[in-house]
Amino acid sequence: EDPANGFLPSIGEITTYRPPAGPGVRVDDGIETGTAVSPYYDPMLAKIITWGRDRAEAIRKMQRALHDTVILGVQTNIPYLLAILAEPHFQAGQTSTNYLTQHMDTWPLVGTREDEDWLAAVIFEFLQGGGKRVGGTAVTDESQAQYDPWNETVPWRNV
């Protein structure tokens, strides 16, 4: 779903999909890289479930799982879900059927961080390789050091 578009399906092709993994994380999905997303689908493409010893641990695991999820090619509701998880009333368990209208009405429904997230991912990946990686391969000749982020799959997504 695309929160910036009234939670309508975000149509297109999923160009990269990498679900999260780890202790206390479960993923139920029906997608993979190359899946075509039409406007005639159930907007829940994947469901991430986390559990922990208490609510705080489960929330931390969910935040990590959402950050680790890679979905490129379509818009997702991951930034919206992360905003909910960071909201103090949600963290305290003070929720009701009116929770979203009471606490999330002011959430920016415009993808204002997309460029910042993309740039941060590129810089991170560049620095991981000591500034000398091209498509995951070490560069021996400085003149070849033209990094192409599309040759990498790192924990970032099209948000």
Q: How many CB atoms lie within 10 A of CB 144?
A: 10
Report the largest interatomic distance among the alpha carbons of the chain, rounded to a whole angstrom: 59
Segment (H or E) for 49: strand 46-50
Full pLDDT tens readout for the chain, 159 residues = 888 787 888 899 999 999 999 999 999 998 999 999 988 877 688 999 999 999 999 999 999 999 999 999 999 999 999 999 999 999 999 988 888 888 887 666 544 455 556 666 777 777 776 655 444 444 455 555 555 656 655 555 554
Residue range of the domain that includes 118: 114-151
11 with 81, same domain?
Answer: yes
The separation between CA 1 and the C-alpha centre of its own chain, rounded to angstroms, equals 12
96 with 145, same domain?
Answer: no
Distance, in Å, from the CA atom of 8 to the CA atom of 40, rounded to the nearest integer, reads 10
Let me know how many helices (H) and strands (E) the chain has, helices first.
5, 8
10 with 71, same domain?
Answer: yes
Please state whether beta strands 137-138 and 133-134 pair in parallel, antiparallel, or not at all (unpaired).
Answer: antiparallel
Question: How many domains, the chain?
Answer: 2
Residue 108 lies in a domain: no
